[in-house]
Structure 1
Amino acid sequence: MEWLTTPFEVGFVQRALAGGVLVSLICALAGTWVVLRGMAFLGDAMSHGMLPGVALASLLGGNLVLGAALSAAAMALGVTALNRSTRLSQDTSIGLLFVGMLSAGVILVSHSDSFAVDLTGMLFGDILAVRAGDLGFLVVASLVALLVSVLGHRAFVALAFDVRKAHTLGLRPRWAHAVLLGLLTLAIVASYHVVGTLLVVGLLIAPPATAVLWARRIPMIMALAAALGSISVVVGLLLSWHWGTAAGATVAAVAVALFFCSALATRIRDRARTADERIEATS
């Protein structure tokens, strides 16, 4: 029991746990739609697209969260604009902006005197450095994400499964897509300080993808994704404490490992059901 409880008796680990659970909730609300709509590459690109804004804010002594939000929003607007004004596919537009924003961020960071430290913090985050003020921001972000998810649920469902029907029902799919991008931006900005721009996709994609294997209704997928994300945070912090590994990376790795374990378990389950059905058919 001491192996399980000792790490969480320390103040900064307790804050890391609270921050990780809140991030898991936000990522579950946004990530469910990312998984259902096949927007994983966009989410990955937007997480890297924050780098120029964070770097510029750091160099100018500004607010890093505001810089990250503006940069991620610019990335989302850029992808939307390219899709409407050119013949390029969405993947091509995302890839071009992805490389451009990431390159711009690295160039900006290279002007800093502490290049390696700053870049490491931006890319991989530091969940153990979560402060009380960060928790306040995450609480507000969680409430906003929950409100947007509830109010936009009907439009998001129509957008995810049938855009034409969304037009017919007067749900304004373009506006719904814009709001969904805003929700995704909120999740990425809220999460980057905890797990960094490289690892944020782990919590954004892995728990909802795992939940989809076990649940069918969207609210259940979101709830299960939030629970799986929280479990990943707890297990990741424990392993990081005892093994001396990077906390954010360990949390993301646990989330991905849960997905592969679930995928294997569901495959075994489906094969067992198929075998039972064949036995019943022949008997």
Structure 2
Amino acid sequence: MLTPQEFVADLFNPALSFLPKALFVALLSSAVCGVIGCYVVLRGMAFIGDAVAHAVFPGLAVAFFVQGNLVLGGAVAGVLTAVGVAVFSQNRRLREDSVIGVFFVGAFALGIVIISRSPGYSGSLQQFLFGSITGIPDEDLVVVAVSTVVLLLLAFLFHKEFLSVTLDRESARALGLPVFVLDLALYIMVSVAVVISVQTIGNILVLALLVTPAATARLLTDRLGVMMLLAPLFGGLAALVGLYLSWILDLPTGGTIVLVSTMLFLLSWGLAPRHGAVARLWQRRLGRTGSGAPSDEAREEDGRAPSGSALDAGTG
């Protein structure tokens, strides 16, 4: 079995130049999805992330058909879909999830029709659905790197505004914040984050990179700033370990990365110091045997809200 030292040596082997490129894209995707994913998790936007992941498919298909850049093609389709969802959701007779469902299946069906008309249909479809991290062209590296920097910069510059809309939309609207514009910006940022991650783990599994590391971090902290630091770290760790395991065991890279990320989530769910299953059981036991008031965790179990905010927006 290949040792970690040998894996590192392979990363610097000129004959295996695709391997460091794969790791580079996987780490960038993990970083941007970890940060943007925090907003997705806190707002309960997982369905939106899944919809966008499918909505970028026609753009990828068109780009493949005309031999264009897959990242740019997917970004255009994702942005157009995000704008459509944001606009059509303004109609109060339709719930947002209904609009998302319409656009999501319609866009995915369009992508299937387009890709079916191109040569090599089966192979290209498998690449889109399950990823092809070891076959990423050099020009895509630049696009992914620039997109990552832009998204992280936007998240930093408009963090307070996104946070206000995430935690309380009505209060944000009362404060005069442009809620619709912020929603639209966040949808577009999710779209671009999904697009630059599709080649890493594929169209079907990309939601895991957006949601699972952020959900793992959410179990470990009540502070959004810490959560936004932990989520990219968990995503990057899953990418590194997943790529290593897929390389030494000859496993699908995208699926292995997702499985490692899922294992990190399960460990966090069970062993998190305050919100893990073990800690909650212990707190419930103390709440039953102690003479004082029940703990926050015990009151949550009983359906009573704990004292204090559920999320500290501080960054310390």
Superimposed CA distance per residue, residues 208-249 of structure 1 (whole angstroms, 9 cap, x where no aligned partner): 011000011112111100110011011111211122111111
* Deviation string, structure 1 residues 119-158 (Cα, Å, up to 9, x no partner): 0111111122234433332322221112111111111111
- In structure 1, the partner of 2:299 is none
Partner of 1:29: 35
Q: Give a deviation string over 1:82-107, Cα, whole Å, max 9, x none.
A: 22236221112111211111111111
2: CA distance, partners of 1:24 / 1:115: 29
- The answer (yes or no) to whether the contact 1:26–1:141 under 8 Å persists in 2 is no
Task: Find the aligned partners of 1:5 and 1:201 in 2 and give their Cα distance.
Answer: 31
How far, CA to CA, are the matches of 1:113 and 1:44 in structure 2?
Answer: 28
Instruction: Structure 1: give runs of 5+ residues left out of the alignment.
Output: none
Q: After superposition, where does 1:64-213 map in structure 2 within 5 Å? A: 64-85=70-91, 87-213=93-219
Q: 2:280 is matched by which residue type in structure 1?
A: D
Question: 1:18 and 2:28 equivalent?
Answer: no
Pick 1 or 2: higher relative contact order, CA cutoff 8 A, min separation 6: 1
Over aligned residue pairs, what C-alpha RMSD do you find? 1.8
CA distance in 2, matches of 1:236, 1:30: 21
Q: Which runs of structure 2 are paired with 1:194-233 in the superposition (5 Å)?
A: 194-233=200-239
Are 2:56 and 1:46 equivalent residues in the alignment? no
Q: Which amino acid aligns with 2:112?
A: V
Larger Rg: 2
Cα 1:15–1:66 shift into 2, 3 Å: closer
What residue number does 2:281 align with? 271
Higher mean C-alpha deviation, range 219-228 or range 260-269: 260-269
Letter in 2 for 1:254: V
Which residue matches 2:295?
none
Unaligned runs of 5+ in 2: 11-16, 293-316
Report how many residues are paired: 282
2:308 matched to which residue of 1? Answer: none
1:252 aligns with 2:262: no
**TM-score normalised by structure 2 residue count:** 0.84
Letter in 2 for 1:5: Q
